[in-house]
Chain A
Amino acid sequence: MSIMKKVQNLDTRIIYLLAWLFVLFPLISPLGLPIPISNDARNWYNYVENEVNDGDTVIFSLMYGTSGMPELFPMSVATMKHILEKDVKIVVVTFWVEGPLVFDTLIGQVDPADYGKVYGEDWINLGYIPGQETAIGSLATSFQNTVANDYVEGRPLSSFPIMDDIKSANDVDLIISFETGTPGAPEWLRQWNTAYGVPIIVGCIGVSVPGMIPYINSGQMAALMPGLTVSAEYEVLLSKPGLAVAGVDAVSTSHLLVVLLVIIGNIAYFMTKEDEK
């Protein structure tokens, strides 16, 4: 069974090459696999569609940097498109240092002006606030004391009509947060949900999903968008296919590779173990 031993000792670079091929192939030549819609996507869609009412104030927070963009950017774009179709006030804020420039990239693809939204009246960008959880808590207490000027025009918050009725967490109806780590959902929950009862929905990278489930189960978090596959499902529900739908075939083939390698690796292991006996 020397073949199995050779398989076990396969050059790592061949595995890397296989990973490349299994990712690049479906991107070059899409398989067009149907995308079954999961409950996660439906819950997220239904919450934004039915629970976000006209006149509500929504915090839209990109709690990630360039490292999280490939997985979180598609869901951020899709959700922004969804809430811009509603008559809500949007306050953009971030507690991650790269967040403002990630949002600038988002604005390049989804311009609120195209939806008839006026900056300063329908939406405002407060930029980055340093201080992690302390900053999140401070913003809940007082917007004006925590952020003096807006990020886009550098003018005092009091000069924008949208901020006339937004003073603290008591004036906010929903937090939509996209995140890759700390600060993130636990901080939002501690400072806004537990203290002020503000509902929160969270889009996160796959790695963070297991830790979010107890919050979903307890009802502290209203909806969860767990990763790229569900982003694609959401884009399908919105009838606005984007980067997530374009990439989901590659998710399938790459996961197929992982499953095959696990199976082959275990077969090789057990067969060489038999040989040694």
Chain B
Amino acid sequence: MVDLIPIWLCVFFTLGIYSILYRENPWFRIAESVYLGTAVGYAVSQDLLYIRNQWSGQWSQSAGMMLLFALTMVVGLMWYARFNKSTFYLYRWPLAIIVGTGIGVALKTVIFTQFLDQIIAQANTPFFVAGDLMGTINNILIQIMVPSVLLYFWFTGTTRDSAPMKVVEKIARYTMMAGFGSAYGYTILTRYSLLIGRSQYLLGIPPNPPEAKLAFIVIAFVMLASMIGYDMFMKKKTPEE
């Protein structure tokens, strides 16, 4: 019996979220509140575990490192200065360090990873592929489409009034529309994959516990009956004029 409680809880929370599809209701608010509270509290454990583990590593090996660790913790505590207006300025210091380091770490290689390597790949795309008509057509299309998209973003306003830019604009827009269609198709796949995953749990399909199926039927009935019953009750209570 006790083993069934976790399964019924999982099903309750799952259906609680899905109950919003009927309308806003207390089941959904309960599930949403539990998620919000637990998600925020969960992150605390992982972050503090990291700090504790770090102390037992390089930071406690010498006096200099211990001093640096203490200084780091002082800077880390400055995050909480944001909750007081008179000390808010201190909150900007750790933020500045994080933002600066993050920008620096990304900046040093972004020019290669997302700029040069892509341009090199584009330049290395041959116009003609021997013995492969489709490959040749595709490469020619890529050589036309990529620069068109780039020019579309770089040149805006009156620079698009010229005849060549009007052609470029059309090619770019049609290319992007096809790209967005592709993104839409994959979005459908992702969202339904998530729904299918939860449905597999609700139906108790292995390796999910089979007891979930009964819980699904019972809890779904209770939730629907309560919402529909309440609506019918409110309708009777306030008859339409």
A residues touching B (Cβ–Cβ < 8 Å)? 13, 16, 19, 23-24, 27-28, 67, 69-71, 73, 97-98, 100, 109, 127-130, 132-134, 137, 144-145, 147-149, 154, 156, 186-187, 189-191, 193-195, 205-207, 209-210, 214, 217-220, 226-229, 243, 246-247, 250-251, 254-255, 258
B239 to chain A, nearest CB (A): 22
In the assembled complex, the Cα of A189 lies from the Cα of B114 at a distance in Å of: 9
The reply to whether A255 and B205 form a contact with Cβ atoms under 8 Å apart is no
Kindly name the residue among B186, B187, B190 whose own CB sees the greatest number of chain A CB atoms within 10 A.
Answer: B190
Residue of B nearest to A254 (CB): B192
B residues touching A (Cβ–Cβ < 8 Å)? 21-22, 42-43, 46-47, 49-50, 53-59, 98, 101-102, 105-106, 108-110, 112-114, 117-118, 120-121, 179, 182-183, 186-190, 192-200, 203, 205, 207
The reply to whether B43 and A214 form a contact with Cβ atoms under 8 Å apart is no
The reply to whether A98 and B205 form a contact with Cβ atoms under 8 Å apart is no
In the assembled complex, the Cα of A219 lies from the Cα of B105 at a distance in Å of: 23
The reply to whether B205 and A144 form a contact with Cβ atoms under 8 Å apart is no
Query: Which residues does chain B contribute within 8 Å of A247, judged by CB atoms?
Result: 193, 196-197, 200
Dominant secondary structure at the B interface: helix
The reply to whether A70 and B196 form a contact with Cβ atoms under 8 Å apart is yes
Query: Which residues does chain A contribute within 8 Å of B114, judged by CB atoms?
Result: 186, 190
The reply to whether A194 and B112 form a contact with Cβ atoms under 8 Å apart is yes
In the assembled complex, the Cα of A178 lies from the Cα of B195 at a distance in Å of: 19
Contacts A28-B203, A190-B106: A97 and B46 contacting too (C-beta < 8 A)?
Answer: yes
In the assembled complex, the Cα of A156 lies from the Cα of B57 at a distance in Å of: 7
In the assembled complex, the Cα of A69 lies from the Cα of B205 at a distance in Å of: 16
CB contacts between A and B, total, < 8 Å: 154
Contacts A27-B203, A145-B58: A255 and B21 contacting too (C-beta < 8 A)?
Answer: no
The reply to whether A206 and B189 form a contact with Cβ atoms under 8 Å apart is yes
Contacts A70-B193, A149-B56, A251-B196: A206 and B186 contacting too (C-beta < 8 A)?
Answer: yes
Given contacts A154-B53, A228-B193, 10 further A-B contacts (CB under 8 A): A16-B21, A24-B203, A69-B197, A97-B42, A149-B53, A156-B56, A206-B190, A219-B121, A243-B205, A258-B188
Query: Which residues does chain A contribute within 8 Å of B192, judged by CB atoms?
Result: 23, 250-251, 254-255
A218's partner among B101, B120, B188, B195 (CB-CB below 8 A) is: B120
Residue of B nearest to A142 (CB): B58
Contacts A132-B102, A209-B186: A27 and B200 contacting too (C-beta < 8 A)?
Answer: yes
Residue of B nearest to A148 (CB): B57
Contacts A70-B198, A190-B109: A207 and B187 contacting too (C-beta < 8 A)?
Answer: yes
A26 to chain B, nearest CB (A): 9
Query: Which residues does chain B contribute within 8 Å of A134, judged by CB atoms?
Result: 98, 101-102, 105
The reply to whether B194 and A70 form a contact with Cβ atoms under 8 Å apart is yes
B58 to chain A, nearest CB (A): 6
The reply to whether B46 and A130 form a contact with Cβ atoms under 8 Å apart is yes
